[in-house]
A and B are shown apart, each in its own frame.
Chain A
Amino acid sequence: GAGVSQSPRYKVAKRGQDVALRCDPISGHVSLFWYQQALGQGPEFLTYFQNEAQLDKSGLPSDRFFAERPEGSVSTLKIQRTQQEDSAVYLCASSLTGGGYEQYFGPGTRLTVT
């Protein structure tokens, strides 16, 4: 079946603009995670949903970052008033509950703030 998809794949934003990044998880996957990956680093956790409930947002770096998953499927990560330090790859992952809880990742969105 289809894997995790993300759009857009690349986004260039001028400093101060708002951006919205979309994640379509694998159908039936209850859990959804957002990670941020800076160049040359491992991914770092941002936020986590189980169905439509945001259970953990401790990794969001500032109140300019906001995520939602209103119907428990598609999720959007929004960044307001982008700054240069927001430039990174944003990765989305989904997993089932039960079984091995293996996380499956999308291709990521590369955000460049100029």
Chain B
Amino acid sequence: KQEVTQIPAALSVPEGENLVLNCSFTDSAIYNLQWFRQDPGKGLTSLLLIQSSQREQTSGRLNASLDKSSGRSTLYIAASQPGDSATYLCAVNDSGNTPLVFGKGTRLSVIA
């Protein structure tokens, strides 16, 4: 059974810092890995999707990498801003249109 772990559970950084969020998964036979953002009381916003054949994806200040063989992904946020404060969730699935298995998330606070 696939299990997804996110470290750290919570992180507080001053504005302007670069930071890395970690995600690990137990079964390397994944199809997709998605990073989401969730604001308090809101739904999930998809940030980046990495297919299993890809090594990384970039969107603005965000860069996600995937090392499928070691079961790891990282989300790198450059020049953090207070508006980046949210919970970041990592999720994987094992084929194209199957349910996602989520980690518990990393709660990020960026202090002005």
- Give A residues with C-beta under 8 Å from B: 4, 6, 30-31, 33, 35, 40-45, 48, 50, 56, 59, 91, 93, 95, 97-98, 100-108, 110
Contact = CB atoms under 8 A, between A and B. Distances in A.
B28 interface: no
Contact of B100 (A30, A103, A107, A108): A103
Interface of B: 4, 31-32, 34, 36, 41-46, 49, 51, 89, 91, 93, 96-105
Given A42-B105, A103-B100, A105-B43, 10 more contacts: A30-B97, A48-B99, A56-B99, A59-B99, A97-B97, A100-B51, A101-B32, A102-B46, A106-B43, A107-B43
Contacts of A45: 99-101
Given A50-B97, A100-B49, A101-B96, A40 B34 contact: no
Contacts of A106: 43
B43 A108 contact: yes
B38 to A, nearest CB: 9
Contacts of B99: 33, 35, 45, 48, 56, 59
A105 B46 contact: yes
B45 to A, nearest CB: 8
Contacts of A4: 43
25 contacts: A4-B43, A6-B43, A35-B99, A35-B100, A40-B104, A42-B4, A43-B44, A43-B91, A43-B100, A59-B99, A91-B44, A93-B44, A95-B97, A97-B96, A100-B32, A100-B51, A101-B32, A101-B96, A102-B32, A103-B34, A104-B46, A105-B45, A105-B46, A107-B43, A108-B43
B102 A44 contact: yes
Given A42-B89, A45-B101, A97-B97, A105 B44 contact: yes
